[in-house]
Amino acid sequence: MQFDQVAFSLYNEMQLSSKGLKYEVFRKALTGYYNLKHEGYLSDKPVLTMVDFTKSSSKKRLWVIDIENKEVLHHTYVAHGRNSGVEFAENFSNDNKSFMSSIGFYVTQDIYRGKHGLSLRLDGVDEGFNTNALDRCIVIHGAEYANPSIIEQTGRLGRSLGCPALPMEEHQEIINTVKGNTALYIHAADNSYTSDYLDHATAMAELVQESSEKMPASTDTSI
């Protein structure tokens, strides 16, 4: 079986289309998830977070899923950097003080309390696209400007300095769900984007290995 078949089957089983998640975004995110697992970046927590910056900030464009239990855990709004665009995120940067969002794969780190309250550090792993995330203090945090009430006033969310900021009433629960070495994929319409973690063969090999480890041991005692 090809990896695309596995991904498409899971996408349909979880009814992710009804949640507004494009298959293209899910397929790439799932490929990266298994590549990152293969490289030993991730914990045993079967959690994958996806952001689709091709969508308007007035739409829910962040999903957190449990791959093992095939559940959508969270689906909500997320803000982009103020220099990335107004309603849509169209420009991206890995540079300090660019005040733009960065795209690609991240691994969540530890939580801390800063000026935005409970926050979650992100380690970018795509060279040239997001590897300065820790130095730039790109973190998941809550923000009043990311609340849906702002959309009612302006037609879009407010914007961050580059962080994927979440609604205040949801950020703590989401942070506690995804903390501790889980995968995050931020997708955008950027033809220059490439990643070492989009290898389907590696993803399929990791998936097969994971499946074999979860198979119950044989109880056949016949000789």
Strand partners, 111: 120
What percent of the chain is modeled with pLDDT above 90?
91
Supply φ then ψ for residue 110, to 5 degrees.
-95, 165
Closest CA to 57 of 24, 90, 23: 90
The matching CATH number, chosen from 3.20.19.10, 2.40.50.140, 2.40.440.10, 1.10.3720.10, for 3-211 is 2.40.440.10
Please check whether residue 7 is in contact with residue 13, taking contact to mean a CB–CB distance below 8 angstroms. no
Q: Which helix (H) or strand (E) holds 123?
A: strand 117-124
Q: What is the mean pLDDT of residues 31-42?
A: 98
Q: What is the mean pLDDT of residues 188-217?
A: 90
Report the 10 Å Cβ neighbour count for 10.
16
Q: Is residue 212 very low, low, confident or very high in pLDDT (cuts 50, 70, 90)?
A: confident
The residue among 221 and 199 whose pLDDT is bigger is 199
Q: Is residue 222 very low, low, confident or very high in pLDDT (cuts 50, 70, 90)?
A: very low
pTM of the model: 0.94
Mean pLDDT of the chain: 95
Please check whether residue 110 is in contact with residue 121, taking contact to mean a CB–CB distance below 8 angstroms. yes
With 80 as the cut, is the pLDDT of residue 207 above it?
Answer: yes
The residue among 1 and 176 whose pLDDT is bigger is 176
> Taking the domains of the chain in order of start, what are their residue ranges?
3-211
| All residues at 6 or more sequence positions from 143 whose CB lies less than 8 Å from its CB, including other chains | 79, 116, 158, 160, 165, 166, 168
* Per-residue pLDDT at 36: 98
* Per-residue pLDDT at 1: 66
Please check whether residue 63 is in contact with residue 21, taking contact to mean a CB–CB distance below 8 angstroms. yes
- pLDDT tens, 59-108? 999 999 999 999 999 999 999 999 999 999 999 999 999 999 999 999 99
* Per-residue pLDDT at 223: 43
Please check whether residue 80 is in contact with residue 58, taking contact to mean a CB–CB distance below 8 angstroms. no
How far apart are the C-alpha atoms of 223 and 220, rounded to whole Å? 9
Please check whether residue 57 is in contact with residue 80, taking contact to mean a CB–CB distance below 8 angstroms. yes
The token duo for 170 is 């949801």
Length of the chain: 223
Please check whether residue 115 is in contact with residue 94, taking contact to mean a CB–CB distance below 8 angstroms. no
